[in-house]
Structure 1
Amino acid sequence: MFENIKMVLFDLDHTLWDFDKNHEIALKNTYDKYIKKDINFDELHLYYNKINHKLWEKYRKEQITQVELRTQRFKIVFEHFDIKLEDKIKEIDAFYLNSLSQQKETINGSFEIIDYLNNNYEIGILTNGFESTQHKKMKSSGLDKHFNFIITSDKANALKPNKKIFEYTASKAGHDIKDIVYIGDDFENDILGALNANMKAIWFDLYKEGKKDNIISVQNLIEIKNIL
């Protein structure tokens, strides 16, 4: 299906590393340490996810900085629930990120498909996210042992879907961008971003949204064996 492929790149969160499970554990740890007496966890979890998603969209569009993202998400949540912890927002965010980076859950099939592809291609990671946090996630989950090529948006100074991050990664990998396949779960940021940069792409349809015209997709990582 793909010809002359030299390298396969993976997104990290929601593709290999199970962000949903790991995030819930980290947020619960944060809730237990700082917030428990003030609000029900399920309510907090739901609202935090909504706010965090909106702020990440702004961050990807360069409408806010990384510092603003990290401080505003808890600030907005605390204001919504009238939680009086404004003076501890930086401490709480640091605690949350540290707890998040220690979690180990991976997506089903991650290690099997990595081992399979490693027999035939160079493999690497291309991820939006904070440099130190992403590397810690990989170490905690054991993914780091399988990759020696990792590019984060911090390192590239660009965020998906900006084609600059894909071009930067291809340059660092030493391959023509057309000889690389990118695998990720986010249709706009991963798949359309890669295609816009002339990189091939496979959409990992984690949430089973359904097929899209002219887009190669899988709903289970092991299905990639039928493509590559």
Structure 2
Amino acid sequence: MNKFKYIFFDCMETIVDLYELPKGNDYALWAFKGSGVEHYWNDFNEFAKYYETSKIEIGVTLEMDEEYELVRRFELLVHKSKSIGLNIKTEVVTKLYENYWRTYKSKCYISPEVREVIIQLSKRYKLAIVSNFMVKDGIEELLFSNGIGELFDFIITSINVGWRKPHSKIYEISMQSAGCNNSEIIFVGDDYENDYLTPQRMGMKSIFLDKFDTQRAGCERVSSFNELKTALLI
């Protein structure tokens, strides 16, 4: 592995895990419940309908894999809600967004195994993050608040680039930031398309973090960070 200079990591569900993975209307619920502005809607079901409609309306205005900040959904749903006066719409958006992010962060953690392996890898390789995320500076906050942000040379997120993986732009910017040959970069992540196949097509080596043991045929894979350490350090 001496020929490799960089390891690019996906972040969410690769380095940072969640105690509770979001499903269904959870993103809407994490914004709504405990926000202090619930009374502007009849109930959560009404709020969730506004949220989903706003998500769809924004989506149809964008190109495939184009990214936008999550707060836009709250801005649009609040704009649509006739029960909210014009003079307080910004305040309501802020409360929803801050409540969402506070709730999301409370569900995040980095396991001791992941932390220790990242520290060990940082002594041999340069490390970077290349991740999809819709909260500006959110990945940075999660990593630095957990004491490992300083181990990464740079952090590239879809919200800052404007394009989500697997769009080529986010990989291109990341590879330019590394300043080395694509073949000197290893990409590690839990998404088979975004973190394994596409990096390979871009000329990088990739390793699939197969936490759920899908055992994809012909795929270079590890099931844990301890296995990754064995593959890259021993």
Identify the TM-score tier after normalising by the shorter chain: 0.7 to 0.9
User: In the alignment, which of 110, 114, 117 is matched to residue 114 of structure 2?
Assistant: 110
1:162 to partner: Cα distance: 1.6
1:180 to partner: Cα distance: 0.5
Larger relative helix fraction: 1
Residues 166 and 199, structure 1, Cα contact 8 Å, conserved in 2:
no
Q: Distance in 2 between matches of 1:20 and 1:193?
A: 28
Greater CA deviation, 143-152 or 26-35?
A: 26-35
Give 2:206's aligned residue: 201
Greater CA deviation, 173-182 or 18-27?
A: 18-27
Q: Distance in 1 between matches of 2:210 and 2:180?
A: 26
Q: Distance in 1 between matches of 2:9 and 2:130?
A: 6
How high is the sequence identity, in percent, across the aligned residues?
23
In structure 2, what residue type is equivalent to 1:224?
Answer: L
Give 1:99's aligned residue: 102
User: In the alignment, which of 127, 144, 147 is matched to residue 142 of structure 1?
Assistant: 147
The yes-or-no answer on 1:156 pairing with 2:155 is no
1:11 to partner: Cα distance: 1.0
In structure 2, what residue type is equivalent to 1:144?
Answer: G
Q: Secondary structure at the match of 1:116?
A: helix
1:152 to partner: Cα distance: 1.7
The yes-or-no answer on 1:219 pairing with 2:218 is no
Give 1:13's aligned residue: 12
Give the aligned CA root-mean-square deviation in angstroms: 4.2
Change (3 A) 1:163 1:132: same
Give 1:66's aligned residue: 68
Q: Distance in 1 between matches of 2:28 and 2:207?
A: 29
Q: Distance in 2 between matches of 1:113 and 1:166?
A: 24
Change (3 A) 1:73 1:182: farther
1:71-128 Cα shifts (integer Å, max 9, x gaps): 447978xx9xx9x779576334421354157545114521111022112111111112
In structure 1, what residue type is equivalent to 2:121?
Answer: L
Greater CA deviation, 190-199 or 90-99?
A: 90-99
The yes-or-no answer on 1:183 pairing with 2:188 is yes
In structure 2, what residue type is equivalent to 1:137?
Answer: L
Relative to the length of structure 1, the TM-score reads 0.72
1:26 to partner: Cα distance: 11
Relative to the length of structure 2, the TM-score reads 0.71
Residues 27 and 100, structure 2, Cα contact 8 Å, conserved in 1:
no
Q: Distance in 2 between matches of 1:202 and 1:60?
A: 29
Q: Distance in 2 between matches of 1:132 and 1:226?
A: 32
Alignment of 1:161-172 (within 5 A): 161-172=166-177
Greater CA deviation, 30-39 or 143-152?
A: 30-39
For structure 1, the residue ranges without an aligned partner over 5 or more in a row are none
For structure 2, the residue ranges without an aligned partner over 5 or more in a row are none
Q: Secondary structure at the match of 1:5?
A: coil
The number of residues matched between the two structures is 217
Residues 209 and 223, structure 2, Cα contact 8 Å, conserved in 1:
yes
1:151-206 Cα shifts (integer Å, max 9, x gaps): 22234343211222222212111111111111111112222221121111111123
Residues 74 and 93, structure 2, Cα contact 8 Å, conserved in 1:
no
